[in-house]
Amino acid sequence: MTPLAYLLQRGTALLMVPLIAAHLAVIIMAVQGGLSGEEILSRTRGSELWAAFYAVFVVAASVHAGIGLQTVLREWTPLERRGSAFAAHTFMVVLLGLGLRAVAGVYGL
């Protein structure tokens, strides 16, 4: 792991602590009145705040998971540097794409 990857890993972890807390708190509050797709979309549609919140969350989670996955692959599989980097970066891009697409969906783009 390079110093930059280390910084990104720790930085995204730090960033996600309040994001996860807020995400869990909203889930608990939201399910009180029954949970439906309509109810969720009524809160998120057109809300720039929630779009920004989850966009940041998705980027942080993708970067964090990608770096973490590369470490796990290096330590637990026979993959060497290039192979593990390719697999981890691919996973990071897929996660980022799916996550941002979901954010766009709940925002109503």
Partner 1 sequence: MSKGNGKVLRVKVWRGAEEGGYQSYEVPARENQTVLDVVTWIQRNLDSALAYRFACRVGVCGSCAMTVNGRPRWTCRTHVSRVAKNGELTIAPLSNLPVIRDLATDMTAFFEKWQAARGRFVAGKGKKDRMAAIEPESKERAAASAAIECINCGVCYAACDVVSWRDDYLGPAALNRAWAAYNDVRDGDRVGVLKAVATSGGCHNCHTHQSCAEHCPVALNPTFSIAGLKRATLKAKLKGEMQ
**What angle do helix axes 37-44 and 48-76 make, rounded to 10 degrees?**
110
Instruction: Tell me if 79 contacts partner 1 by CB under 8 A.
Output: no
8 Å CB contact between 60 and 19: yes
AA letter at 105: G
Question: At its nearest, how many Å lie between partner 1 and the CB of residue 12?
Answer: 15
82 interacts with partner 1 by CB under 8 A: no
Query: Using CB under 8 A, which of 39, 43, 81, 104 touches partner 1?
Result: 81
Q: How many residues bind partner 1 (CB under 8 A)?
A: 12
Of 71, 83, 91, 100, which one interacts with partner 1 (CB under 8 A)?
71
